[in-house]
Amino acid sequence: MCSLFDKIHKFISLERDQIIPKMSHTINQAEASNPLYQKKMRECTICNSAGFPQQLITFQNIGQDPTSGKTIWKPIDEDGNEHKHKSNTQVIGKPTFHRKRIVDIAAVTDVQETRKLLSEGWEYKTSYPATISNIPHFILVKRE
């Protein structure tokens, strides 16, 4: 014995099938098994800011940091490999700018001695009156 609900359901499903024919949908087995197709791909902002647009990546959860408890994510590229950020700088050996460290500091009152130290490669930093009679002291540094 069919209830009124079953009759209405059959009627609606018959009407729906006549109005909207059922579409056959086939899924490629490779697409269904590849987890990257199920994740949202987005553009890598680091590569984009370095001048390499259209680098699509997704993120894979690889676990939690034991100290902080935060989730660790690994960027994955379109091929399923770990994403390496692209940059337009060339890294060859040491950096091009190397700061010299200060090896000596001198406070000199004599102008002639100051000129002699400057000619030997010392750098002038500042001068100030250090005595009651306002004799200037020149602060010089030597770098290596």
Beta bridge partners of 75: 59
Is the pLDDT at 116 greater than 90? The verdict is yes
Residue-level pLDDT at 35: 54
pLDDT of residue 122: 92
**Range 32-59 average pLDDT:** 76
Provide the phi-psi class of 9: left if phi over 0, else alpha when psi is between -120 and 50, else beta: alpha
Please tell me whether residue 32 adopts helix, strand or coil conformation: helix
CB proximity list for 118: less than 8 A, separation 6 or greater: 124, 140
Give the count of alpha carbons within 13 A of 105, CB side only: 7
pLDDT (tens digit, 9 = 90+) per residue, 70-107? 888 899 988 888 888 887 765 555 556 667 888 898 98
Query: Which pLDDT score, from 0 to 100, does residue 120 have?
Result: 92
Residue 63 CB contacts under 8 Å (≥ 6 apart), including other chains = 71, 72
Pairing of strands 71-77, 102-108: unpaired
Question: If DSSP codes are grouped into helix, strand and coil, which group holds residue 70?
Answer: coil
Ranges of beta strands (E only) in 53-114 are 56-64, 71-77, 102-108
**Eight-state DSSP code of residue 50:** T
Q: Which of 37, 42, 76, 81 is nearest to 59 (CA)?
A: 76
Task: Give the β-pairing of 42-43 and 102-108.
Answer: unpaired
